[in-house]
Amino acid sequence: MNGKSKEEIYYERGTEELKNKNIYAHKLIQEFNNANVEDDLKKEEIINKLFGSVGDNPSIEHNFHCDLGYNIHIGNSFYAGYNCTILDMAEVRIGNNCMIGPNVGIYTAGHSIEPKGRNKSGYAIPIIIGNDVWIGGSCVILAGVTIGDNSVVAAGSVVTKDVPSNVIVAGNPAKVLKNI
């Protein structure tokens, strides 16, 4: 873990600045998702433009989506399966040798539970995923969560709280099943 702060970030939806940042990211995402499946160099080039930082050997399957891109930081040998969505209104830091299964959502963003103004603004809290983490298919990782090194998040889990290192978690909400 890098010791980064998990400070809440507040943002206003629909501003011209946010719209322009989304358009820039979405153009790159569209280019990535439409790239030839055999053109790994092109796909890696796009990911390097989109993300804040990228380690060696990234591999992301098609139908990837994110908000801004530049808040995503991935380590070496990163893999994300089909239909990965990362809502990166705050930073998402993912360590080395991480595998993310298909249909996974990593969501830094949230909204007020109060109905007044809910659709006009939001907040985001960084997510940190350690080294050698495996996130199974159809998992959801919520705002502010840290997942420790070497841990496994079982398929279909919803992670609402921090996960220690060297454990397997499962369920909704995810709970520790056993130590590794």
Catalytic residue among 26, 62, 65, 111: 111
Surface-to-core class of residue 22, CB atoms within 10 Å of its CB (0-12 exposed, 13-18 middle, 19+ buried): middle
Can 26 be counted among the known catalytic residues? no
- The 10s digit of each residue's pLDDT in 10-48 is 999 889 999 999 999 999 999 999 999 999 999 999 999
The SS3 call for residue 37 is coil
For the stretch 109-142, pLDDT in tens is: 998 888 888 888 899 999 999 999 999 999 999 9
Q: What is the DSSP string of 117-169?
A: TTTTEEEE--EEE-TT-EE-TT-EE-TT-EE-TT-EE-TT-EE-S-B-SSEEE
pTM: 0.94
Give the SS3 label for residue 81: coil
Domains, the chain, in order of start with CATH, read: 9-179 (2.160.10.10)
